[in-house]
């Protein structure tokens, strides 16, 4: 994909893709620089800035190439009327590059421990009820519950591996009703300013940008089933289609943290709406 301009802001290298005018970077740089203030210190003074690709929010197959970079570039939508990213996505970008929860810090958070398939179903139902209780649409309630179910199943059944790195449950999803206690995880969610935020964390840190890149490569076309990792690849596509933003932080071998943000409105064609997709991969340093 061709780009029109680059601009460094703090610890970020802002890149405007072909969907944006070259002048847009100077407009959004102050907002993003404020959101990542102190970032070089937080990341241990990285040798090069983190790439952030700003675009109109319309995902296309050519965006997949940005996820193949090392480290992956972060895709940030410019959804606001003034041509910039939203305040909440700028904040999400900042916290993504640090440690800790990706949920809004002042929002009331509901936690659902997950150990079995029944727990996943109960958590997804609770998410849908929370959307309706917050005066969200029925459409949004169904989409949010679907996203919650998918990310919960991924964390509970796909993420756990044994000492050799082999999947413990992914290849027998239909058989497993409950995982071992040490493989349990948690779904957390919060509603704020017309959106529901869904977060899951696993302790394995095995998630990689490849599946997301493959989902983008087939964007707009029929999903190709890929069961090599245990799942069929359909869940990730639904997660991206239903969400306004998906952010992932992986500390390799230690933790994968995924947050999905779903608007509470009644819009049904979510796949065509602006989206941000930010995958942040941290390699564990020796002695770190």
pTM for the model:
0.90
Between the ranges 117-121, 170-174, 222-226, 263-267, where is the mean pLDDT highest? 117-121
Contacts of 11 (CB under 8 A, 6+ apart): 36, 39, 40, 43, 46, 49, 50, 97
pLDDT at res. 126: 98
In angstroms, the CA 154 to CA 158 distance is: 5
22, 27, 29, 30: which is closest to 5 by C-alpha? 22
pLDDT of 42 over the 50 cut? no
Q: Which residues pair with 261 in a beta bridge?
A: 197, 245
- Residue 198, both tokens: 């869904």
Average pLDDT, the chain: 87
- Residue 214, both tokens: 């493959």
pLDDT of 41 over the 50 cut? no
pLDDT of 224 over the 50 cut? yes
pLDDT at res. 65: 95
In angstroms, the CA 77 to CA 221 distance is: 21
CB 171 within 8 A of CB 158: no
CB 154 within 8 A of CB 232: no
Q: Which residues pair with 197 in a beta bridge?
A: 190, 261
The average pLDDT across 71-83 equals: 92
**Cα angle vertex 241, ends 238, 244, to 5°?**
125
Structure confidence at residue 284 as a pLDDT band (50, 70, 90): low
pLDDT of 207 over the 50 cut? yes
**pLDDT tens digits for range 186-205:** 999 999 999 999 999 999 99
pLDDT of 228 over the 60 cut? no
Choice among 13-27, 115-129, 158-172 with the minimum mean pLDDT: 13-27
In angstroms, the CA 276 to CA 261 distance is: 10
6-282 has CATH 3.30.565.10 classification: yes
Choice among 45-54, 151-160, 180-189, 259-268 with the minimum mean pLDDT: 45-54
281, 278, 251, 282: which is closest to 93 by C-alpha? 278
Choice among 139-143, 173-177, 183-187, 195-199 with the minimum mean pLDDT: 173-177
In the sheet that holds 74-77, the strands lie side by side as 3-9, 12-17, 50-55, 74-77, 276-282, 245-251, 255-263, 195-202, 185-192, 110-114
In angstroms, the CA 1 to CA 216 distance is: 13
pLDDT of 245 over the 80 cut? yes
The average pLDDT across 195-218 equals: 95
């Amino acid at each position: 994909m061709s780009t029109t301009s680059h601009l460094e802001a703090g610890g970020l290298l802002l890149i405007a893709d072909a969907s944006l005018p070259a002048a847009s970077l100077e407009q959004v740089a102050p907002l993003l620089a404020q959101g990542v203030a102190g970032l070089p210190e937080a990341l241990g003074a990285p040798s090069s800035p983190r790439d952030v690709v700003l675009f109109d929010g319309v995902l296309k197959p050519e965006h997949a190439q940005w996820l193949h970079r090392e480290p992956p570039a972060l895709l940030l939508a410019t959804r606001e009327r003034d041509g910039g990213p939203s305040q909440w996505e700028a904040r999400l970008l900042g916290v993504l590059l640090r440690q800790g929860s990706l949920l809004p810090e002042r929002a009331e958070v509901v936690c659902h421990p997950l150990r079995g398939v029944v727990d996943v179903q109960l958590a997804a139902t609770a998410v849908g009820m929370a959307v309706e209780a917050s005066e969200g649409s029925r459409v949004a309630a169904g989409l949010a519950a679907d996203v919650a179910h998918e990310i919960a199943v991924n964390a509970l059944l796909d993420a756990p591996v044994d000492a050799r790195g082999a999947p413990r449950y992914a290849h027998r999803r239909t058989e497993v009703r409950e995982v071992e206690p040490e493989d349990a995880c948690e779904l957390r969610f919060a509603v704020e300013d017309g959106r529901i935020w869904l977060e899951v964390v696993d302790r394995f840190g095995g998630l990689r940008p490849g599946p997301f890149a493959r989902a983008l490569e087939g964007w707009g076309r029929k999903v190709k089933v890929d069961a090599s990792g245990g799942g069929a690849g359909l869940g990730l596509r639904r997660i991206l289609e239903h969400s306004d933003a998906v952010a992932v932080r992986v500390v390799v071998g230690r933790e994968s943290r995924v947050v999905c943000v779903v608007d509470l409105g009644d819009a049904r064609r979510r796949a065509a709406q602006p989206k941000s997709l930010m995958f942040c991969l941290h390699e564990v340093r020796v002695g770190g």
